[in-house]
Structure 1
Amino acid sequence: MYTLQQRKRRRLLAEINVVPYIDVMLVLLVIFMITAPMLTQGVKVDLPQAASKPVKPPEDEPPLLINVDVQGRYYINAGKAPRQPVTADKLLEVVTLVLRHKPDTPILIGGDRQVSYGAVVKVMALLQQAGAPHIGLITETPSRQESR
């Protein structure tokens, strides 16, 4: 009889209590929901929708054009030498001065087809630092041969 009682005591309980795991999961979910919006960084850009027509800037206020070439050099159509490359600091300075004088000046960025995405994003970040409220991207209309 002693062995029969011993066997009953040794019987294991094979259930796992998952309630604490669910509690931990819900706490982590709440933490991630709160912190995720704080971690996102980006450059605010107003992009036109695909079905929209090209925007024509006012004739009395020409847009500020910033171009990025294949080597990642910046060009701006303001100043004494618009065909000379400028540094990032000079670009920031010129855009800040233009926006301080005329805050509604439209700003357009043009990038060479071969330029890296990162170079264009750097320009957008500089323009955001300068206080540009709206940034547009310059594109070309695809030709019929390229669309085939």
Structure 2
Amino acid sequence: MYVRAKRKRVAEINVVPYIDVMLVLLIIFMVTAPLITQGVKVDLPQADAEPLDQDSKTPLVASVDINGNFYLNVGDSKTEPLEPEELATLVVAHLKVEPDTPVVVNGDGNVPYNSIIQLMVLLQKAGVPSVGLMTDSVEN
């Protein structure tokens, strides 16, 4: 007759697999963190670009000239340059009245990229959900 010794139950959690998983995740995050860049959120079309419908609302057009001055096609002085705070205030006021108005950016072809980005960030801070970019049609 064999006497079998009773084993004590182990009430510990084996954490070694969890440590392995955490180390792998740490390495993944360390590698991918430098690859993540900040940017202005823009809703890009999923198909070929088409002009706005004739029966759609007139869009807000925020413009930048070659000197970096901002303009907006709303208000009494459409051809006078606006300070960034004025432009943001006008956009917020217009979007409160008509929240589904499309907003597009119109910039001179020789404007520094930084001026366009500053305008887009200004519009984003003003609460614009998406921004479109205006272009001229290409003529062959």
Which TM-score tier does this pair reach, normalised by the shorter chain?
Answer: 0.7 to 0.9
- Give the Cα separation in 2 of the matches to 1:91 and 1:84: 11
From the CA coordinates, give the structure whose radius of gyration is larger.
Answer: 1
Deviation at 1:142, TM superposition (A): 1.4
User: 1:33 and 1:99 mapped to 2: Cα distance?
Assistant: 41
Which residue does the alignment assign to 1:69? Answer: 65
Question: What's the TM-score, normalizing by structure 1?
Answer: 0.70
After TM superposition, the structure 1 = structure 2 runs for residues 1-148 of structure 1, keeping only pairs within 5 Å, are 26=24, 29-32=27-30, 35=33, 40-49=37-46, 51-56=48-53, 58-59=55-56, 61-144=57-140
Question: Which 5+ residue runs of structure 2 have no aligned equivalent?
Answer: 1-22
Whether contact under 8 Å (1:47, 1:137) holds in the other structure is no
Query: Is the alpha carbon distance of 1:76 and 1:29 closer, same or farther for their aligned partners in structure 2, counting shifts above 3 Å?
Result: same
Shift of 1:69: 0.3
Identity %: 36
How many corresponding residue pairs? 121
Q: After the TM superposition, which of the residue ranges 103-112 and 47-56 deviates more from structure 2? A: 47-56
Q: Which amino acid aligns with 1:44?
A: K
Residue 10 (structure 1) aligns with = none
RMSD (Å), alpha carbons: 2.8
Task: Give the Cα–Cα distance (whole angstroms) in 2 for the partners of residues 57 and 103 of structure 1.
Answer: 19
Higher helix share: 1
User: Where do 4+ consecutive residues of structure 1 move more than 4 Å?
Assistant: 25-28, 33-37
Task: Normalising by structure 2, report the TM-score.
Answer: 0.74
